[in-house]
Amino acid sequence: MKCIFCDNNESKVVDSRYLKDGSIRRRRECLVCGKRFTTYETVEHNPMVVTNVDNVREPFKQSKLRDSIIYATYCTDLTDDDIDTIVNNIETNLFRLQKQEISTRDIVSVALDVLMEFNTMACLVYYTQHTDCDNFDGVRRFINR
């Protein structure tokens, strides 16, 4: 990061603070002139593209994911806040895959992991809705994994 006072490239971070929007504010001190300046770091989110089973590509839609989670949690006591957290966690984990294109299988796999932490019943409902497993053997294998 270039010093705004002397154009030198070397600086050290003297303070970092996480902001509410997820960005980081850093106070830096120039190693040459010793003056301090502030930088902000944010993550650049490229829009994710989803490839479905028929190889049709479409932009990732959070609303679609949310609908499927609401459906899966219908018979549970999870609150709207829980659902928000679940949807956000799934989206974050999908971003962490760092793929240009994610498949619907990626989404299902990540969603199952996240749901498992919150509610087994919701996880099971989601599993039966989103996999082609329509027999109890598959469900039992899934529960025991």
Applying CB under 5 A, does 28 fall inside the site for Zn ion? no
Q: Which two tokens stand for residue 138?
A: 């598959």
**Shortest distance, CB of residue 39 to Zn ion, whole angstroms?**
13
Taking the C-alpha atoms of residue 134 and residue 22, their distance in angstroms, rounded to an integer, is 41
12 phi, psi to nearest 5 deg: -115, 150
Which of 13, 14, 19, 33: binder of Zn ion (CB under 5 A)? Answer: 33
Q: Which is nearer to Zn ion, 4 or 143 (CB)?
A: 4
- Which of 66, 128, 75 lies closest to 143, judged by CA? 128
Q: Which of residues 63-122 bind Zn ion (CB under 5 A)?
A: none
Q: Which residues bind Zn ion (CB under 5 A)?
A: 3, 5-6, 8, 30, 32-33
